[in-house]
Amino acid sequence: MVRGIDLDLAAGTLVRVEGANGSGKSTLLRLLAGIDTPTEGRLTGRPRTAYVPERFPVSLPFTAGGYLVRLGRIHGLRGTVAEARAAEWLERFGAAGHFRTPMSQLSKGTSQKVAVAQALLAGPELLVLDEAWTGLDASARTELDRAVAERVAAGGTVVFVDHDPRRLAGAADEVYAVVDRGLERRTDETPAAAHGPRVRIVAEGPPGAAPPVGLPGSPASVPCQDGSVLLTAPAVHSDALLRALLTARPPWHIREVRAAAEPPPAAAAPVTTPSGTTGSGTLSSGPASSPMTTRHSSA
């Protein structure tokens, strides 16, 4: 049960939700995904939403490919498009050989790859991930990191819970914690990061290519005469930025990493704090074209 939630999720943002076991994180994510409904309150609007639950049902009467194609059709994809997307995502997660494998015969790790693939098939506007990395091998976890970055760069909203505090470290635009059944916003690190230490990364990609879109830390980019690119970003985002470059498709080669001498001046960024009284709250999400607002007291 969660109470007094007041939350506004903007398009093109990555949001992390933290909290102790049993605090209500999964309840909040199920509300966001539209799986559960609040006992009191309202919800207006609904972006196209996809959800990866903490526990994915594995004993389904489908093959992996058949299940994904069916889900793709439910999300509005034509049959041939759904089949192509299913094959693409299974390949990206290293499970292409299981397209025709019955779901009941899949390993736990491969089942989790199918669970993640079904949520990414149709390019959702709101992607809700509840411990989605759990059970994936290292390569698939990296691929999911990349898929999340792609969704955010495309203007989608991604909300996730993960037990590993290093997951997408420094990449989240907002961090919230479920405490005493309510929601608290953690201190926004972005303004502090803008005035703190910075890192300079010299990277080289394919000839003539611009840096990937949606890089963590929104680095400043300056092309160099030798074809490489100089990226400057807050040091707090350095690990996530390096990971994004190294796992890009195709990957970028890192030639040099060094501390920047002086941080540039930065404009102040507004920080808002969720508000609300016990017994009521607001929950909103999605692109401007499809806003979602929920007001509820408990669920």
With a cut of 90, say whether residue 289 has pLDDT above it: no
Q: Can you say whether the dihedral through the CA atoms of 234, 158, 284, 1 is positive or negative?
A: negative
d(CA 249, CA 227): 18
d(CA 194, CA 191): 5
Short-list 161, 267, 132, 180, CA closest to 1: 180
Nearest partner of 231 among 208, 204, 267, 251, judged by Cα: 204
Which ranges in the chain belong to alpha helices (H)?
A: 25-33, 64-74, 79-92, 108-120, 138-153, 189-195, 238-246
Each residue's pLDDT tens digit, 59-89: 788 999 999 999 999 988 998 999 999 999 9
CA distance 74 to 271: 38
Residue 280: pLDDT over 50 = no
Contact predicate 11/157, CB 8 Å: yes
- Within 10 A of 75 (CB to CB), how many other CB atoms are there? 18
Split at pLDDT 50, 70, 90, the class of 144 is very high
pLDDT tens digit string along 179-215? Answer: 888 888 885 444 444 556 888 999 999 988 888 887 8
Q: What band does 263 get if pLDDT is binned at 50, 70 and 90?
A: very low
pTM above 0.85, yes or no: no
Please, which pLDDT band fits residue 290 given cuts at 50, 70 and 90? very low
Confidence of residue 6 (pLDDT cuts 50, 70, 90): confident
| DSSP symbols for 69-110 | HHHHHHTT--HHHHHHHHHHHHHHTT-GGGTTSBGGGS-HHH
Quick check: 241 pLDDT over 70?
Answer: yes
Dihedrals phi, psi of 255, to nearest 5 degrees: -95, -30
Cβ partners under 8 Å of residue 129, min gap 6: 52, 116, 119, 148, 158, 159, 160, 161, 162
Whole-number pLDDT of residue 84: 95
pLDDT at 271: 33
Q: Is the pLDDT of residue 261 over 50?
A: yes
